[in-house]
Structures are given as structure tokens and as C-alpha cells.
């Protein structure tokens, strides 16, 4: 059984050596990969001198790095962790056991149930984590505690079937939704989170990255739950049409005349558009079901190739 530790790295010269050494100690038999993402400091050289397998990813963004890692590396267990030394390497042993024993396809290192809110000093990050968690759990009827953690474990089947579309930090949200949508086995493991050391700066931009995460969330909601999504749009349009139509109807019963003909025509158009949108959702729902059946077949092929 082979375990690979995957460390995306961008300007982490202050911490990358410690992260590598900590994981070498926690998982002495694992291969440790560092993919440098155009660092302008000495991260690449330090990682190489510390004994990691170091490669370069020239397309900027964490999503691009993870995509290359998942394509390049074959293993039975994958452990993905940030290079900023905010996650405990000691937790990786339990993550590895859960993956290799087939008890999970994705293990989430749950920061939010332990020390995250005390350690993290960026107030809007805390609020953003809570908002995204609430939205995903509501939309997908789930109970995930930490949506955007940077420490996770994955099975071979998950990694080789995950079609990554994110380019940057929204990758964590995409992973969670993909696992929920395709019924992968998810386990959460509470871990101790520690804030960045002095001099080490976060690459996250609270507002721009938060906007990307929310946009991704609603885009995936539309694509994954099309009937529900387009039914909601239909309902909103019908409510708007009803608000304008019923006063016209009341006036007609009272006077026998329709005084607001242009408004009535507009209401009729909105109602027709609402019906078209609803049936669009029905068609996309059928296509989505066919896609899910094809995906299950794809998973079976991945499992067979792994056995060979």
C-alpha cells in the first residue's frame, strides 16, 4: 500500500521544511511531493534539500496545482495538506488508516470543531467558513462541519474520478460537493489548527476568494440539482407574475374591464418563460441521471484498473 503526501506550495520558505520533516516523521514510508507554484522565494530549493519530491506547476492557483498532482501521482492513499504549517502532521496517521481500510473515500480534517475560531485571527474568514458551511449543508442536505479545510485524505477512486474545474482556492468547496453528490464515503476527523507563524502571510483574499467560492457553489448547485434549481427560479417568476396579475383580475371582476393591458401581456410572457424554465429543469434532470449512471460505470472501470 502506497501513501502520497501532497503539498501545494507558494512562497512558504519559512514553513515548508518543518512541514516536510513533520510528515516524514509521522509517515516514514510515505512519498512526500511538493509542487511549487511559481514561488519567488526559496521554497523550491528548501523543499528539495529537505528530501521531498519537488516539481513545478506554472499555472497559478491551488486548483491548478491539485489537478496536476491528481493526474501525475498514483497511490492507494493521498493526503493533501497546505505548506503553511497550520495543520498537524500527527493526524495523518489516522487519516491514512481510514483511507487504506476503506472506511472513507475522503477524510476531512475538521478544524472548525476544535481550535480554528480561537487560532484564526482573520474575522471575515470565520464568517465566510460558517456561511459556506450553512449553504452547502442546506442545499445538499448534509452535515459537514468543515467545508474548506486544507487537510484531507483521499482514496485512489476519488482522486482518479474527480474532474477538477477550479483554478484557485475554491478547490476545497468543489471537492466537498463532488463527494456529496456522488455518494463517496466521507469521514470527518477533528484536528488541532494553529494560525500561521509570524512573518508567514496567507495567500487568501477574503472578499475575492469568497466571491469565487459562492459563485462556484451556486454554479454546482445548478448543475448538480437542476430540477430543484430551475423549479426555484420558476416559483420566483410565478410569484412575481401573480403579484401583478391578481390586482388586474380583481379590477376586472369589479369593473368588467382590463385597464392595464400592457401589464397583463407582460405577466403572460413571464408565466410562459417560467413554464419553459421548469421544463428545462426537467430535461436537465433526466440528462443528469444518465450522467450519474455513466459515472458509476466509470468508477467500476477505475476499480478494475487498480486491481490490475
CATH number for the domain spanning 155: value is 3.90.550.10
Domain boundary among 204, 224, 244: 224
Segment (H or E) for 118: helix 116-119
- pLDDT of 284 reads 94
Is the Cβ–Cβ distance between 78 and 153 less than 8 Å?
A: yes
User: Is 128 found in the same domain as 112?
Assistant: yes
Phi, psi of 100 (to 5 degrees): -70, -25
Per-residue pLDDT in tens (0 to 9) along the chain, 308 residues: 899 999 999 999 999 999 999 999 999 999 999 999 999 999 999 999 999 999 999 999 999 999 999 999 999 999 999 999 999 999 999 999 999 999 999 999 998 887 666 656 565 566 777 888 888 898 888 999 999 899 999 999 999 999 998 898 889 999 999 999 999 999 999 999 888 776 666 666 666 767 888 888 888 888 889 999 999 999 999 999 999 999 999 988 888 888 888 999 999 999 999 999 999 999 999 998 888 888 888 888 887 777 66
User: Is 247 found in the same domain as 178?
Assistant: no
Domain count, the chain: 2
Question: For the chain, percent helix, then strand, then coil, each to nearest 5?
Answer: 55, 10, 30
User: Is 234 found in the same domain as 128?
Assistant: no
210: number of CA atoms within 13 Å, CB side?
13
Whole-angstrom distance, CA of residue 270 vs CA of residue 291: 31
Q: How many separate helices (H) and strands (E) can be counted in the chain?
A: 11, 7
User: Is 239 found in the same domain as 216?
Assistant: no
Count Cβ atoms below 10 Å from residue 117 Cβ, excluding itself.
14
User: Is 207 found in the same domain as 73?
Assistant: yes
Segment (H or E) for 110: strand 106-110
Q: What is the DSSP letter of 272?
A: H
Domain boundary among 224, 240, 256: 224
Q: What is the pTM of this model?
A: 0.81
User: Is 169 found in the same domain as 86?
Assistant: yes
User: Is 127 found in the same domain as 106?
Assistant: yes
Structural domain containing residue 166? 3-224
Amino acid at each position: 500500500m502506497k501513501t502520497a503526501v501532497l503539498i501545494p506550495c507558494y512562497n512558504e520558505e519559512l514553513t515548508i521544511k518543518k512541514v516536510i520533516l513533520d510528515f516524514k516523521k509521522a509517515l516514514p514510508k510515505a512519498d512526500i511531493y511538493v509542487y511549487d507554484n511559481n514561488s519567488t522565494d526559496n521554497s523550491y530549493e528548501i523543499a528539495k534539500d529537505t528530501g521531498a519530491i519537488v516539481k513545478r506547476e506554472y499555472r497559478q492557483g491551488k486548483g491548478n496545482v491539485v489537478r496536476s498532482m491528481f493526474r501525475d501521482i498514483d497511490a492507494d492513499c493521498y493526503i493533501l495538506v497546505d505548506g503553511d504549517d497550520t495543520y498537524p502532521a500527527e493526524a495523518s496517521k489516522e487519516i491514512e488508516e481510514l483511507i487504506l481500510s476503506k472506511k472513507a473515500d475522503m477524510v476531512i480534517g475538521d478544524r472548525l470543531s476544535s481550535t480554528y475560531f480561537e487560532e484564526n485571527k482573520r474575522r471575515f474568514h470565520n464568517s465566510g467558513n460558517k456561511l459556506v458551511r450553512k449553504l452547502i449543508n442546506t442545499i445538499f442536505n448534509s452535515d459537514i462541519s468543515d467545508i474548506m479545510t486544507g487537510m484531507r485524505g483521499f482514496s485512489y477512486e476519488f482522486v482518479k474520478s474527480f474532474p477538477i474545474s477550479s483554478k484557485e482556492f475554491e478547490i476545497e468547496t468543489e471537492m466537498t460537493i463532488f463527494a456529496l453528490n456522488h455518494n463517496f464515503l466521507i469521514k470527518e476527523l477533528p484536528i488541532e489548527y494553529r494560525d500561521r507563524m509570524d512573518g508567514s502571510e496567507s495567500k487568501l483574499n477574503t472578499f475575492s476568494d469568497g466571491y469565487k467560492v459562492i459563485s462556484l457553489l451556486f454554479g454546482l448547485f445548478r448543475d448538480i440539482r437542476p430540477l430543484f434549481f430551475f423549479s426555484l427560479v420558476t416559483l420566483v417568476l410565478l410569484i412575481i407574475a401573480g403579484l401583478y396579475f391578481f390586482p388586474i383580475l380583481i379590477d376586472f371582476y369589479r369593473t368588467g374591464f382590463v385597464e392595464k393591458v400592457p401589464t397583463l401581456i407582460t405577466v403572460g410572457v413571464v408565466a410562459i418563460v417560467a413554464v419553459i424554465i421548469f421544463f428545462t429543469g426537467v430535461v436537465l434532470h433526466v440528462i443528469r441521471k444518465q450522467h450519474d449512471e455513466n459515472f458509476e460505470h466509470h468508477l467500476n472501470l477505475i476499480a478494475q484498473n487498480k486491481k490490475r
